[in-house]
Chains A and B, each alone.
Chain A
Amino acid sequence: MDLAWYALLGLFFAGYLVLAGYDYGVGLLLARGVGPAGRRETLTALGPFFLGNEVWLVAAMGILFGAFPLLEGELLAGCYPAVVGALVGVILVTVGVQLRSRPSDERIRARWDRVVMIGSALAALGWGVVLAAMWQGVPLGADGHVAGVTHLATPFAAAAGLAMVTLVAVHGAAFLALRLSAEAAAEAARTARRLVPVALTTVAVATVVGLLSARVRDTVQRPALAVLLPVLLVAALLAARAALTRRRPGLALVATGAALALPVVLVGAALWPYVLVSTTDPDASLAVADAAASTPTLRLLGWVALPLLPALLGFQAMCWWVFRGRTDGRAPVYW
């Protein structure tokens, strides 16, 4: 039962990074100099999906609290600055996108757009650092608490955060290539192709820094899976580039989406059976089974989630289906 809930937690957090990842990527790409009308068109592409994407984070946090209360407390409090950074980013994006078009003054809208850009960068950076913190282990003491927050300040965490920012940027560009009207989409596809080498560079840097870090090497329980991650990331990015060249933006979006889901899936697999590995006291490492809520709680949540999950995914799928296709002059404009 622990494993099923751990997988569900992974599904929702990975789903959040994949879906909100293109929100943040699109947010970053507001900086690409397309003028007021272009920026509004960019946000119209997000349109009906935006609220449904952001809320995957809320669901992931709910599962984290309900099914893994011990992990929730230690992970969030133990990575305090990174989580707060990500959270501030999420709030800025959520508020910025929804409010930017309420004033009609273009200068105020441009200011809101800068808020969205900064928020997008912060959110991607923050979640990148949180994932890096799991990869490099935390100073978990015998009392069960993470000691201090300075453990976050490593070159690996910085490199991973940066890699996350470039990954969401590519992902956002691939989304725009799929969604925007034909002419703007071609421009977005060019941007995406140009961003792929940047993302490859940051992933390579994070890989090298990670391999050189003794903390990362000691933390990882299954080195083969850890090494697989950069290989798969590079493959996904190259596949995205190839798909964009062949004018298949849908495939490209799947590939960049996979690149955002992979770090979550593989950090879970590579650290198994642990979820937080202690860098100071090997006996203090937190195993998934120990982090999970007790059986009656998991069973109760299971009864709730089992019938609900198809409904949750079904309504999201309904949203994707109803609003599929490129945005054209007839698309509702609100953001």
Chain B
Amino acid sequence: MDTLLLARLQFATTTSIHFLFVVVTLGLVTLLVGMQTAWVLTGNPKWERLTRYWGQLYVINYVLGIATGIVMEFQFGLNWSGLSRYVGNVFGAPLAIETLVAFFLESTFLGMWIFGWHRLRKSVHLALLWGVAITAYASAFWIMVANSWLQNPVGYEVRDGIAHLTDFGALLTNPSLSMALGHVVSAALLVGGMLMAAVSAGHLIRRTPDFEFFRTSLRIGLVTAALAISMVQSFGFAQFDPVGSVQPTKFGGNGPESQALIAEWTTRFGPGDYTPPVLASVGLGFMILIGFTLGCVWLLLPLLFRDWIIRLRFPLWLILFALPLPFVAVILGWIAREVGRQPWVAYGLLPTEQAVSPVGAPLMLASLIGFSLLLGTLAVTNWVLLARHAMRGAADPALGRPPAAPSEPAHPEPALL
């Protein structure tokens, strides 16, 4: 195995795991903002309970988002030193801005939010969650600016083989940015909504005594998912036009435009295989299939009337079993976007083989195996913990527990029965 393939596999593995957690982060935080705002405005304790329960799941999920995010950041330097060498002047800027504007503040706010219950004024505590959400969206924005630049490099000139920034505004108005950003953000909302609906469905199937709580959660989750899936579809199809014009080879190299582009690359970079692997188109196809399937969420909305959705029970099972679908779809969508960029790191500018670090294959293999095992194990552990906390119900989450309450176990067994 050569270093390049190993480095690509490592990037794919790390990014996929990272993506599975950050979509949940972005989706749930949006819903949390709504719930905590409702609590502060109305003073209704129902909203506090909702915020604590879903907040607890959000915080557990966040752990792996941050851990894999750190690995992602280091991976550019560790495995792709050519990326920083040749295009770091341009590509590095949005990444640097992301860490300072978004990641740094997001974690600072989140630490204060977790420990700020019963300690900070309610409005300040709410403002912290708003801060977490805004910086999370800012994070998504800047990462997509950076990624869109790799899809369609703009605003630079090459001097002595190195790209220099000439027009930062062009990075922000990149045609491969706006629709993709909308697509990713609404996909995150879809995942958040589906997660909330599915967990609630699970509790309602088990005839939870906390009926009112999970009924509300189910309704919020389903309505969010329905609105989000329509946005996902619209932003998704709106991308075909810009992608077709700036990345004609993305989903196959047979059109006249892509043939012309491949001929141009052959003269500039020498002969080579400039069509991306078929995996990109396969990912796209299956993602669209899942997208249409999930569109059926709209059919469930009328059943919210008089709780038919709960009384009939089978819709609850449908929602529960549909939970993996949006996760599979986001991975497929990511494969379509990223594999479709091959064989380039920066489309038409920097081939992957020039960007990979000059480290030996054995070292890269050890790193790939090590990080895959580590992050894979942590991801599974995290999901197990998430599932357990989701199933435990909303009786007394550790998040936001009043300090005076007995710490553990939360509800001691009565001594006398």
Contacts and interface: CB of A to CB of B under 8 A. Distances in A.
A245 interface: no
A222 interface: no
A294 B165 contact: yes
Interface stretch (B34-42, B62-70, B211-219, B330-338): B62-70
B77 A58 contact: no
B112 A304 contact: no
A271 B80 CA distance: 26
Interface string A163-188: 00000000000000000000000000
Contact of B165 (A57, A67, A300, A305): A300
12 contacts: A61-B99, A87-B70, A88-B374, A94-B67, A98-B63, A102-B398, A294-B165, A301-B97, A312-B105, A323-B112, A333-B401, A333-B407
B240 interface: no
B60 A52 contact: no
Interface residues of A, number: 70
Interface of B is mostly: helix
A16 B89 CA distance: 24
A294 B89 contact: yes
Contact of A70 (B88, B363, B381, B401): B88
Contact of B358 (A58, A63, A77): A77
Contact of B96 (A66, A319, A322, A329): A66
A332 interface: yes
Contacts of A144: 85
B223 to A, nearest CB: 30
- Name A's interface SS: helix
Nearest to B118: A332
A57 B70 contact: yes
B57 to A, nearest CB: 11
A305 B100 CA distance: 8
Interface of B: 59-60, 63-64, 66-67, 69-71, 73-74, 76-85, 88-90, 92-93, 95-101, 103-105, 107-112, 114-120, 164-166, 168, 357-360, 363, 367, 370, 374-375, 378, 381-382, 385, 388-389, 398-399, 401, 403-404, 407-409
B154 to A, nearest CB: 14
Interface string A206-232: 000000000000000000000000000
Nearest to A54: B107
Interface in A137-152: 144-145, 148-149
A315 B109 contact: yes
Nearest to B167: A296
A62 B116 contact: no
Contacts of B107: 51-52, 54-55, 58
Given A65-B96, A101-B398, A72 B357 contact: no
A301 B93 contact: yes
B67 A95 contact: yes
Contact of A58 (B97, B104, B120, B374): B104
B104 A334 contact: no
Complex A-B, nearest 5 residue pairs according to Cβ-Cβ distance, in ascending order:
A69-B88, A66-B96, A62-B99, A73-B81, A76-B77
A259 to B, nearest CB: 25
A47 B398 CA distance: 14
B413 to A, nearest CB: 13
A76 B74 contact: yes
Contacts of A154: none
B88 A74 contact: no
A65 to B, nearest CB: 4
A65 B118 CA distance: 39
Contacts of A88: 370, 374
A91 B63 contact: no
A332 B117 contact: yes
Contact of B108 (A91, A149, A316): A316
Contacts of B404: 330
B92 A73 contact: no
Given A65-B96, A294-B89, A329-B403, 8 more contacts: A59-B100, A69-B85, A73-B85, A76-B77, A77-B77, A80-B357, A294-B164, A315-B108
Contacts of B401: 332-333
A99 interface: yes
A115 to B, nearest CB: 10
A134 interface: no
A301 B88 CA distance: 13
A84 B370 contact: yes
Contacts of B112: 48, 52, 318-319, 322-323
A36 to B, nearest CB: 10
Contacts of B398: 101-102, 333-334
Contacts of A62: 73, 95-100, 103
Chain A CB within 10 Å — which of B67, B96, B399 has the most?
B96
Contact of B89 (A75, A102, A293): A293
Contacts of A233: none
B403 A300 contact: no
A297 B89 contact: yes
B383 to A, nearest CB: 12
B298 to A, nearest CB: 36
Contacts of B79: 77
Contacts of A58: 69-70, 73, 99, 103-104, 107
A304 B363 CA distance: 37
Interface in A294-320: 294, 296-297, 300-301, 304-305, 308, 311-312, 315-316, 318-319
Nearest to B385: A102
A331 interface: yes
B115 A47 contact: yes
Most A Cβ at <10 Å: residue of B118, B164, B165, B401: B165
B92 A66 contact: yes
Contacts of B388: 102-103
Contacts of B69: 58
A52 B108 contact: yes
A95 B359 contact: no
Given A323-B115, A333-B407, A91 B81 contact: no
Contacts of B67: 91, 94-95
Given A55-B108, A101-B398, A322-B119, A69 B92 contact: yes
A167 to B, nearest CB: 22
Contact of B100 (A69, A296, A308, A330): A308
B365 to A, nearest CB: 12
A243 interface: no
B60 A334 contact: no
Contacts of B80: 73
B64 A95 contact: yes
